Each structure stands twice: as structure tokens, then as C-alpha cells.
Amino acid sequence: GAGVSQSPSNKVTEKGKDVELRCDPISGHTALYWYRQSLGQGLEFLIYFQGNSAPDKSGLPSDRFSAERTGGSVSTLTIQRTQQEDSAVYLCASSPSGDLLFFGSGTQLSVL
């Protein structure tokens, strides 16, 4: 595709439910990132994948959060047993070489 695609664009869920957020990076980009954007917190690093290397998961806030990247392309961020504090915009970005990030439009997650 022409850019980084994220789905869904909006997700409303009930507290305690699991959610899956999808990111389709730009074809050929080896690096893929997940960030969480919330008011006053800026862009919080969650996880990044670089080629076939083990992902850097150092930003995941709890073991309820996990992410995978299949075939070096599409990535899914899963949040289990969602809490209200998980409400935020989840941004995905990809990069061909690490010197420039291309961002998607994000998934607005609302946990009721």
C-alpha cells in the first residue's frame, strides 16, 4: 500500500475484554514500531521489531500487552483484559532503515 495502514480506526470495548489492533506496514520496511499516544504522555514507546531480530519489548507496560509480527510484515498488538487506563491512541510506524518513521493514522481505543 501507499502508507502504513492500521485497523480498526476506532475500537470501543468493555473493561476486561481482549482487543487486537492491526498494523500493515509499508512493503519492504524492515522496522515496525508500536507507540501509545495519550494526553499529557506524548508518544510512549511500546515495542519495535527489526528484521528477524528479537523484538525490543521494553516499553510494554504490563504482561497484558503483547505483539507479534508475522512474516516480517503485518503486526498485531493484543491487549488482554483491557482496563480503562488502556484508553489511548495506538500508533504504528514503519521504517526502511531506521532513519525515518512513517506513521499510520492510529487506532483510537476506548475502554468503557
- Site residues, other proteins (CB under 8 A): 3, 31, 33, 35, 40-45, 48, 50, 56, 91, 93, 95, 98-101, 103-105
Give the bridge partners for 10, in sequence order. Answer: 108
Give whichever of 14 and 97 is closer to other proteins, judged by the CB atom.
Answer: 97
Residue 24 contacts residue 4 (beta carbons within 8 Å): yes
The C-alpha cell 507496560 sits at 61
3-state secondary structure (DSSP) of residue 84: helix
Supply the minimum distance, in Å, between the C-beta of residue 42 and other proteins.
Answer: 3
Supply the minimum distance, in Å, between the C-beta of residue 100 and other proteins.
Answer: 6
Strands 88-95 and 102-103, by their bridges, are antiparallel
Supply the minimum distance, in Å, between the C-beta of residue 14 and other proteins.
Answer: 28
